[in-house]
Amino acid sequence: MSDRRKFLKSSVSAVSVIPMIACKAENGNSVLSQEVVKPALISTWNHGIVANNAAWKILGDNGKAIDAVEAGVRLTESDPTGQSVGIGGRPDMNGDVTLDACIMNEKGDCGSVAYLKNIEHPISVARQVMEETPHVMLVGDGAKQFALEKGHPEINLLTDQSKQEWQKWLESERKVLPKINVENHDTIGLLALDSHGDLSGACTTSGAAWKLPGRVGDSPIIGAGLYVDNEVGGATATGWGEAVIRAVGCFLVVELMRQGNSAQRACELAVERVISKNPDWREIQVGFIALSKDGNYGGYCIQPGFDYAVQTANLDNQMIKSGSRI
């Protein structure tokens, strides 16, 4: 994978390659915007490259953003080497792998599952909740029953590697708060703008390693781990979910874009909000990525180490090192 990774300097985004045009923000201020770049994709961490490749095939065929984001993150869910998503995810303190996921389309419809066990593709279950039920969120046994009824097979998600790490943790001082950052946080969040100009997003994770049984993070919470507004843009989060929930992080990023901030600036301001709401911010990682309606993108985080994958009509699929507060 690493030879496919091409790092760009932090905060360099489509802004540098797209002609800028002046326009008015909702608050009446003059802001710089840019021509629409579509299709466009942005996703968290280095598994984003593979997810983007799958999503791009759909977008390149004039497919829909919602199909692209689901197809992209399903690959990550199936990869046993990714220890924070789907199969191979690190378990909770009892040794159970529990999955959280949510999805949102261009109409503002959303679906979510949390604390889901033994199902390979929580993102597809979340989409079925969105499209085939009157509800937004199913959790635990109910979510699993729904998934089984929809034909998802029951499988073991705990790989030998994650089991061994868990057993090692049991013999250690058993800290609930896991190590931060790339060592332990690699939820996939994927945002897409399709050739029709529509936005969608998906987010899926096994959550924090060694968490208390029953713990649910930000990733399946609409507005916290993911938010999409087709008039403005979308955002998704990674890192210590408790801190993201406290700031309703992704809704905040989208609202900041609505107020005229670029995707990059909105992520930076949202990280500042997280910092202001979490006195322990130096000990945790939180990162946001965002994609605006015009294909402008950005990302920002607290700790160095976060990177994200971007592919647009003007840019080959590549890793970008996120700017960080520390």
- Interface residue with ligand SD4, options 10, 118, 238, 278 (CB under 6 A): 238
**Closest approach of Cβ 64 to ligand SD4, in Å?**
26
Rounded Cα distance between 314 and 311, Å, is: 8
* Per CB under 6 A, 208 contacts ligand SD4: yes
Q: Do 131 and 239 form a contact (C-beta atoms < 8 A)?
A: no
**Closest approach of Cβ 162 to ligand SD4, in Å?**
14
User: Which range binds ligand SD4 by CB under 6 A, 49-57, 71-79, 150-158, 179-187?
Assistant: 179-187
For the question of residue 187 being annotated catalytic, the response is yes
What character string, x for contact with ligand SD4 (CB under 6 A) and - otherwise, covers 28-67?
----------------------------------------
* Per CB under 6 A, 185 contacts ligand SD4: yes
* Per CB under 6 A, 292 contacts ligand SD4: no
Could you give the residue ranges of the DSSP H alpha helices within the chain? 48-60, 65-78, 122-132, 140-149, 160-170, 241-246, 249-258, 263-277
Angle, helices 65-78/48-60, rounded to nearest 10 degrees: 150
Quickly list DSSP for 30-77. EEEEE----SEEEEESTTHHHHHHHHHHHHHTT--HHHHHHHHHHHHH
Rounded Cα distance between 88 and 160, Å, is: 8
Rounded Cα distance between 72 and 47, Å, is: 10
Nearer to ligand SD4, 199 or 245 (CB): 245
Residue 35 has phi, psi (to 5 degrees) of: -60, 150
* Per CB under 6 A, 322 contacts ligand SD4: no
Nearer to ligand SD4, 115 or 146 (CB): 115
Task: Report which secondary-structure segment, H or E, holds 21.
Answer: strand 20-24
Rounded Cα distance between 83 and 91, Å, is: 9
User: Which range binds ligand SD4 by CB under 6 A, 6-14, 35-43, 215-223, 294-302?
Assistant: 215-223
* Per CB under 6 A, 186 contacts ligand SD4: yes
Q: What share of the chain is helix, strand, coil (3-state, %, to 5)?
A: 30, 25, 40
Nearer to ligand SD4, 63 or 241 (CB): 241
* Per CB under 6 A, 239 contacts ligand SD4: yes
* Per CB under 6 A, 219 contacts ligand SD4: yes
Binders of ligand SD4 among residues 65 to 94 (CB under 6 A) are 84
**Closest approach of Cβ 185 to ligand SD4, in Å?**
3
Give the residues across from 32 on adjacent strands.
22
Nearer to ligand SD4, 194 or 227 (CB): 227
User: Which range binds ligand SD4 by CB under 6 A, 19-27, 86-94, 167-175, 239-247?
Assistant: 239-247
Give the residues across from 292 on adjacent strands.
233
Rounded Cα distance between 99 and 77, Å, is: 10
Nearer to ligand SD4, 94 or 314 (CB): 94
Question: Of these residues, 44, 76, 98, 187, which one is catalytic?
Answer: 187
Residues with Cβ within 8 Å of residue 80, at least 6 apart in sequence: 87, 88, 159, 161
* Per CB under 6 A, 198 contacts ligand SD4: no
User: Interface residues with ligand SD4 (CB under 6 A)?
Assistant: 84, 185-187, 205, 207-208, 217-219, 238-241
